[in-house]
Structure 1
Amino acid sequence: MLDRFSSLFAKEKSPLASVKAATSWCKNLDLVDPATRGAKVHGVVTDFIAGNQAPTFESLQALMMIDEHVQEAFDAICYQYVSNPRMSKEIEQKLWKDIVGYAHDMVDGYQRFVQAESNEALQKQFAPMMPVVLARSLRYLAIQAKWYYFRFEKVPPKIWTVAHQLYRLSEIGGFDSNPFPTYPASSAEISSCADEYIQMLMLNTLANNNLSIRQLDMVDSWLEKWSKLIQISRKYQEERHHFCVNLQESQGAQKINPELMGEPYRYWGLNDLVNQVQEILGRLMTGASYASLDLGSDARGPAVAELLKHLDVFWTMSMRNSQVKRSERTKVAKAADIIYGLDRICGYVKEDNDKFTRQSREAKDQVDYDEIMDMRLYGFVSSRTKQKSSVATNPYVVNKKQNDWHTWSIDNESNGGLGAILRFSENEWIRPNLLLGLRLNSNENWQIGVLRRIARLSDDEISAGIQVLTSTPVMVGMHSEQSDRIENITVTELGFTGGLELPNVKTALYVPHQIDGKSVNTLIMHSADYGLDKIYQIRARDKRFSVSLGLVLEKGVDWIWVAVNVLRQEN
Structure 2
Amino acid sequence: MRALGSIRCHWLTAPRPRARSIRRFIDVAQRFELMELYARPVATVISSLQATLVRLAIPLPPKKRALAEFLRLLYLEMANGYKCCLNDLQQQRILWSKKQLVTPSAARALHFLGEALLRSYATYFPTPADIWRDAHALYRFAEETGRLEEIIQAPEGDPGPAQSIGHRYLQILLLAACNPYQLPPAECFTVYSFLARWAGQARLTADVLATSPLSQFLVDLDSDRPPIGYPRSRAPEALPSARRLDAAELAGTVQGFIEHLEKGASVQSLDMGVDCLESACLDLMQRLMRAWGEVVRREHARIKRHGSVLICSGVNALHFFASGQKPFSAPDAETPEPVSEPDANVGATPPSAMPQDNENEEYVALDEPGFQAPPPDPIALVAATSAPPVVPEIFRIDRWQIKDISPRGFLLLHSGEGSASVRVGDLIGVQRAGELEHWSVAAVRWLKSVRDESVDVGVEVLSPRVTPVVVSVDGAGAEGGLRHAPALLLPTMSKLHRPATLVLPRGLRQEGKDLTLHDGDSSSGRGVVVLKMLERTSAFEQFVFAEKSESSAS
| Both proteins in one fold, TM over 0.5 | yes
CA contact (8 A) 2:502 2:542 kept: yes
Distance 2:303 2:504 in 1: 32
Q: Which residue of 2 aligns with 1:419?
A: 411
**Other structure's SS at 1:425 match:** coil
Q: Post-superposition shift, 1:408? A: 1.0
Residues 115-139 of structure 1 deviation map (CA, whole Å, 9 limit, x = unaligned): 88xxxx9999998765434322211
Alignment of 1:302-313 (within 5 A): none
Alignment of 1:20-35 (within 5 A): none
Distance 1:275 1:156 in 2: 35
Residues 533-554 of structure 1 deviation map (CA, whole Å, 9 limit, x = unaligned): 5553434468965432233222
Residues 422-454 of structure 1 deviation map (CA, whole Å, 9 limit, x = unaligned): 215334521112111111135241000011121
**Greater Cα radius of gyration, structure 1 or 2:** 1
1:536 to 515, 526, 530: 515
CA contact (8 A) 1:474 1:510 kept: yes
CA contact (8 A) 1:199 1:223 kept: yes
Alignment of 1:127-276 (within 5 A): 131-145=103-117, 153-171=125-143, 176=148, 179-183=151-155, 189-201=161-173, 208=181, 220=189, 223-224=192-193, 226-230=195-199, 231-234=201-204, 241=215, 245-254=219-228, 258=232, 262=236, 263-268=242-247
1:485 is aligned to 2:485: no
For residues 406 and 211 of structure 1, do their structure 2 counterparts lie closer, same or farther at Cα, with a shift above 3 Å needed? same
Distance 1:92 1:350 in 2: 40
Q: Which residue of 2 aligns with 1:75?
A: 43
**Other structure's SS at 2:549 match:** strand
2:80 to 92, 96, 104: 104
1:476 is aligned to 2:445: no
CA contact (8 A) 2:517 2:526 kept: yes
For residues 316 and 88 of structure 1, do their structure 2 counterparts lie closer, same or farther at Cα, with a shift above 3 Å needed? closer
**Other structure's SS at 2:447 match:** strand
For residues 343 and 437 of structure 1, do their structure 2 counterparts lie closer, same or farther at Cα, with a shift above 3 Å needed? same
Q: Structure 1-normalised TM-score?
A: 0.61
Residue ranges of structure 2 left out of the alignment (5+ in a row): 1-11, 54-61, 237-241, 344-395
For residues 147 and 563 of structure 1, do their structure 2 counterparts lie closer, same or farther at Cα, with a shift above 3 Å needed? closer
The letter of the residue matching 1:196 is R
Distance 1:168 1:126 in 2: 21
CA contact (8 A) 2:80 2:109 kept: no
Q: Post-superposition shift, 1:257? A: 5.5
CA contact (8 A) 1:340 1:437 kept: yes
The letter of the residue matching 1:264 is R
Residues 254-291 of structure 1 deviation map (CA, whole Å, 9 limit, x = unaligned): 456526975533244567679989999x99x99x9xxx
Distance 1:429 1:70 in 2: 36
Distance 1:553 1:261 in 2: 35
Count matched residues.
456
Q: Post-superposition shift, 1:165? A: 2.6
Q: Which residue of 1 aligns with 2:541?
A: 560
Distance 1:237 1:396 in 2: 63
Distance 2:464 2:69 in 1: 46
CA contact (8 A) 1:157 1:251 kept: no
For residues 518 and 81 of structure 1, do their structure 2 counterparts lie closer, same or farther at Cα, with a shift above 3 Å needed? closer
Q: Which residue of 2 aligns with 1:330?
A: 303
CA contact (8 A) 1:523 1:561 kept: yes
RMSD over aligned Cα atoms: 5.6
Residue ranges of structure 1 left out of the alignment (5+ in a row): 1-37, 54-58, 355-382, 490-501
Q: Which residue of 1 aligns with 2:364?
A: none
CA contact (8 A) 1:45 1:106 kept: no
Q: Structure 2-normalised TM-score?
A: 0.62
Distance 1:503 1:223 in 2: 41
CA contact (8 A) 1:60 1:113 kept: yes
Distance 1:188 1:413 in 2: 43
**Other structure's SS at 2:417 match:** helix
Considering fraction of residues, name the structure with more helix: 1
